[in-house]
Amino acid sequence: MTTSTTSEAGHVTFTRGGQDESRHTVHAAAVTPEGRLLASCGDPELLSFPRSSSKPVQALPLALAAPDLPQDELALACASHSGTPEHLAVVRRLLERSGSSVADLRCGTHPPFDADAAADLIRRGEVPTPLHHNCSGKHAGMLLACVRLGWSKSGYTDPAHPLQLQIRQLHADLAGVPLSAVHAGTDGCSVPAFALPLRGTARIFARLASGGGEYGEALGRVFGAMTGHPSLIAGPGRLDTTLMPLVPGLAAKMGAEAFYGLALRDTPHGPLGVAFKVLDGGERARPHMALALLEALGVPITAAVRELAPATHFNWAGREVGTVKVHLPLHWA
């Protein structure tokens, strides 16, 4: 990758009573499948953890090893799901394919993100299990990938496990960076979380959008699974699930701490990958910056898309209390 110049960062500012109350700084990069930096704000070389925005890459070994896998199951392997009955049913199918059970999942446990699903558990007097974890589909997919590839399921979350070594190499290959540029940490669900330059993650999403080159067929299946089953990628009312059907040719994947990756198949510039990081982890800034970037890149924006990032914000009584302002100083390379 060539070195690029850091430019002014973007920001999303929330006001109250006509005064700026809080500001979220944003770094972003838009990249072609060939790795050309098209546009950026802030530092496109910012080393950042995509977190769950890495899930399309983490599902790629499964897509390569199981080309016969139904699309809904591949989509769930890419998901940060909400724990609805629909989500859990698909995770169970994935587990059955590898001869695994909920006890084999090493993702940990948290209540379902979906409020109705969480309330149903309480009403039934039940407690959450690893099945309800938003990453259980990814983990079930990893277990199946191990079986298909002839690797032990034991220790599948370990950084030295062959599956995790392959996933790290895939990050480097798709991002167009040396393996040494992919730094490993530990994610909330215990698998390795890989940090890499922001423009590298954007290129990964560009490759997902184009489906060409090495891994192209498998990337195309991942893209098709995500766009074909948006309800499985997140859940009711969540950004990925709501946004993808409104923007044709978009595969979107949010990551923790306000990371976002967008694979755009149809733009005036051709297929593009976009990645941005809200530096303070302020997730409320994400839809506003996503909308601004889509618009700046020439993607048609409908009224329904604009409703996802309203320019005003309200209190619990429904009173308008302030505005949201987006500053996006894109530097075109």
* pLDDT value at residue 238: 98
State how far the alpha carbon of 109 is from the alpha carbons of 14, 127, 133, 134, 170, in Å: 34, 10, 5, 9, 28
List, for residues 249-261, the tens digit of each pLDDT value: 999 999 999 999 9
State the Cα angle at 312 between 296 and 298, rounded to 5°: 10
Contacts of 293 (CB under 8 A, 6+ apart): 28, 30, 262, 274, 276, 328
User: Does the global pTM surpass 0.85?
Assistant: yes
The whole-number pLDDT of residue 212 equals 84
Domains and CATH numbers, the chain: 10-332 (3.40.710)
pLDDT of residue 210: 97
- For residue 295, with 0-12 CB atoms within 10 Å meaning exposed, 13-18 middle and 19 or more buried, which class applies? middle
Kind plus residue range of the DSSP H or E element containing 29: strand 19-31
Residues of the chain with pLDDT under 70: 1-5
Write the DSSP string, 39-70. EEES-TT-EE--GGGGHHHHTHHHHHH-TTS-
Q: What pLDDT score does 213 carry?
A: 87
Question: How many Cβ atoms are within 10 Å of 200's Cβ, its own excluded?
Answer: 28
